[in-house]
Amino acid sequence: MQFDRSFFEDEIRSGFYVTAEMKQAWASQLEVWEDFDRACRKNGIKYFADWGTLLGAVRHGGFIPWDDDMDVCMKREDYNRFNRMAKDIMPCGYDIYNIYSDENNDNMLTRIINGRNISFSKEHLEKYHGCPYIAGLDIFPLDYIAMKQEDADFQEEVISIVIRVSIFIKKHKDKLKDEGNLAIKKELESYVKQIEQLCAVTFDKNKDIQQQIRMLIDRLCSLYKERESKEIAPLLLWMDNKELKFPKEMYTEPVMLKFENIYVPAPCEYDYVLKKEYGDYHKVVLESDDAHEYPYYYKYKKFLADNGIQMCTFKINMTEYDKFMNNIHEERKKRRLTKKDNKKKILFMPFKAQNWKNMEPLWRKYIEDANNDVIVMPISYYYKNIDGTVEQYIENEKYPEYIHVISEDDYDITTCYQDEIVIQNPYDEYNVATTVHPKYYAKTLIQNTDKLTYVPWFVTDEIQQDDMRSDKSMDAYVNVPGVVYADEVIVQSDNIRNLYIRKLAGIYGDETTSIWQNKIIAEI
């Protein structure tokens, strides 16, 4: 699958900051989707985009900016068939993850994944666009609701009874392992016998009871067939929300919707489906949950970090940082003593013409002062390749004609004296997709100026204090060299300033709060 290089850049979508790392994860999931789609088409298995993927296709033309996975649904007969055939029809390396394959899995759906382990193999990184993490998509089964209300009620009651036993096992998991806790074991045995009698099944006492109960729940959901029903539903979710059911005809022939660089099949009445699932789905609401599993690959990054492998993660030692900054201040004092004129030389270093608009207010402020010699020097910007090489970004847009732009070939920051350098790219080498030349890294620039100022190239929507998804994304643009090493950071509002300070103090300790308070200011 081909992507334009710009796809992998950090981007603001619907006011939300989408990281380059998330873009890699999206691309890897789209690769999984393409393989999945090919296997389903070849074998006559129908599926439909669902949940966040369906909403993203309709409302955003792709991923919901704060979403990190892909969802499909299948009618039960296709769902069962895919599960039986998956290992034979999917390319080598793929695996199934569901209640049948993994006894500790309690999700009543199937996940098709591109492997069981993090992989840094050349083949894996090339296919999955530099993303070493496990990628996949969730497949939800759609089951038929009985036409007779008493039949549907009976099915729901039986499933509820079995679910309560599953919850009991989960709640008393540790006690059931205790050989001396006979009362709990006796109680479970009684429940199991009741289920066996009610459902006419026999559990294998030598195998995991919890897994067998989940399998039974799955079978009970598929009790009725298409000919016995007019409506279809994700049955376990429908039991909690009776609105979550659809005429089965909606899932006969799909309509195709654009999703990023592909097209995905959707229910023919997708507007009806989305209204049932989300209500007023055109209203954009960013989920303010605890985001403990967002993004999904954080657990893999943590595993790697715990084993000494840092994935493009910037972090400084504050003792070394203080020493470095003290040396910088001493050198600046010496330079100021030798300066011969009072004119201030201010160097602006944008990296993309399209982002100049965020630098322009400060530039305009400085050019109004006749005592300032203001220079604008766009710097080279590079896309990273998987093999460690880089490819230079070719600028197609032009800077405004009223700006005098000089070439970096005609200016040497190491031999020229800059009173102030203003940068827009804060990442240095700590971005998975892009970089600038090392001579323009913040830690280097600060040694060649009396003041390093960072003005972000982007503006996000205002972020709420409890918005944990945005908070996770802030790791990619707050804890970066351009922010940490700059003398001044100019952000869009007091609210965003406070969030920057909270984020950095959370990483480096509350005792560093004054450092960030002194350098980060709200928009001038």
Answer yes or no: are the C-beta atoms of 431 and 425 closer than 8 Å. Answer: no
Beta strand 434-436 pairing with 452-454: unpaired
Token pair of 512 as six digits: 């560093």
Cα–Cα nearest to 494, from 465, 454, 514: 465
Residue given tokens 């598929």 in the structure block: 222
CA distances from 113 to 92, 244, 491 (A): 11, 27, 40
Pairing of the two strands 11-13 and 95-97 = unpaired
Secondary structure (DSSP) of 215-256? HHHHHHHT-S-GGGEEEEE-HHHHHH-TT--EEGGGGTS-EE
Q: Which residue has the tokens 């960013």?
A: 286
- DSSP 8-state code for residue 495: H
Reported as a single tens digit per residue, the pLDDT across 419-472 is: 999 999 999 999 999 999 999 999 999 999 999 999 999 999 999 999 999 999
Task: For residues 249 and 267, give the distance between their C-alpha atoms in angstroms, rounded to a whole number.
Answer: 9
Q: Architecture of 318-522 per CATH?
A: 3-Layer(aba) Sandwich (3.40)
d(CA 422, CA 194) in angstroms, rounded, equals 73
Measured between alpha carbons, how far is residue 266 from residues 39, 128, 391, 450 in Å? 18, 25, 38, 58
Phi-psi label, residue 310: left if phi above 0, alpha if psi -120 to 50, beta otherwise: beta
Hunting for tokens 């920051």 — which residue is that? 413
Report how far residue 165's alpha carbon sits from residue 193's, in angstroms, rounded to the nearest whole number: 11
**Given the DSSP bridges, would you call strands 488-491 and 452-454 parallel, antiparallel or unpaired?**
parallel
Could you tell me which CATH number the domain at 5-144+233-298 has? 3.30.460
The domain locations on the chain are: 5-144+233-298, 318-522
> What length is written for the chain?
524
Q: For the beta carbon of residue 277, count every other beta carbon within 10 angstroms.
A: 19
| pLDDT at residue 197, rounded to an integer | 96
Topology alike, domains 5-144+233-298 and 318-522: no
Q: Please, what is the Cα angle at 306 between 301 and 311, to 5 degrees?
A: 35
Contact indicator for 420, 347 with CB cutoff of 8 Å: yes
Which residues are paired to 488 by β-bridges? Answer: 453
Asked whether 463 and 497 are in contact (CB, 8 A), the reply is no
Residues of the chain with pLDDT under 70: 287-292, 524
Of the candidates 245, 273, 252, the one whose C-alpha atom is nearest the C-alpha of residue 55 is 273
> Distance (Å, rounded) from C-alpha 512 to C-alpha 515?
5
CA-wise closest residue to 467 among 44, 65, 46: 65
- DSSP track, 126-147: HHTTT--S--EEEEEEEEEEES
Amino acid letter at 390?
V
pLDDT at 288: 58
Report residue 186 as tokens: 């006796």
What string of H, E and C letters represents the secondary structure of 436-450? ECHHHCHHHHHHHEC
| CA–CA dist 117, 115 (Å, integer) | 6
Residue with tokens 């890699």: 24
pTM of the predicted model, to two decimals? 0.94
At residue 245, φ and ψ (nearest 5 deg) are: -145, 155
Angle between helix axes 149-171 and 182-199 (nearest 10 degrees) is 160
- Residue spans of beta strands (DSSP E) within 104-202: 110-113, 136-146
Best CA proximity match to 142, nearest among 40, 225, 53: 225
Q: Is 200 left (phi over 0), alpha (psi -120 to 50) or beta?
A: left
Listing DSSP states for 262-304 in one string gives: EEEEE-TTHHHHHHHHHSSTTS-----S--TT-STTHHHHHHH
Kind of pairing between the strands at 434-436 and 381-384: antiparallel
